[in-house]
Amino acid sequence: MPKVRVHELAKELNVSNKEIIEKMGEYGKSVSNHMSSLEDSDVSRLKGDMNGKVASDEKVERPPRPRPVGEDGKPLPPRPRPLGADG
């Protein structure tokens, strides 16, 4: 089986090159950059460890926040932005 490079595995797992390099450091293995080759055993271990991880690029869907309501149960109008807030 051909050796896999860090950037190829990162793309496959949808994580950053830096995350792969840091994880390899945790394993006690020296990886210098995104073009470094990985052993098959390291690839298997990384795939297992990073399988359930949400990628940093992905956005987690969150339900919309409920609008605040007044004493009468009606939604309050949005608050005005402070002066100088360019959002």
Query: Which pLDDT tens digit goes with each residue over 11-26?
Result: 999 999 999 999 999 9
Q: Find out whether 16 and 10 touch, Cβ atoms under 8 Å.
A: yes
How many Cα atoms sit within 13 Å of 63 on the Cβ side? Answer: 3
Band (pLDDT 50/70/90 cuts) for residue 86 is low
Q: Which residue has the tokens 């926040």?
A: 65
**Structure token pair of residue 25:** 């450091």
Q: What does the pLDDT look like over 28-84, one tens digit per residue?
A: 998 999 999 999 999 999 999 887 654 444 556 778 878 788 889 888 888 888 887
- Report d(CA 45, CA 31) in Å as an integer: 15
pTM for this one?
0.56
Q: Find out whether 31 and 6 touch, Cβ atoms under 8 Å.
A: yes
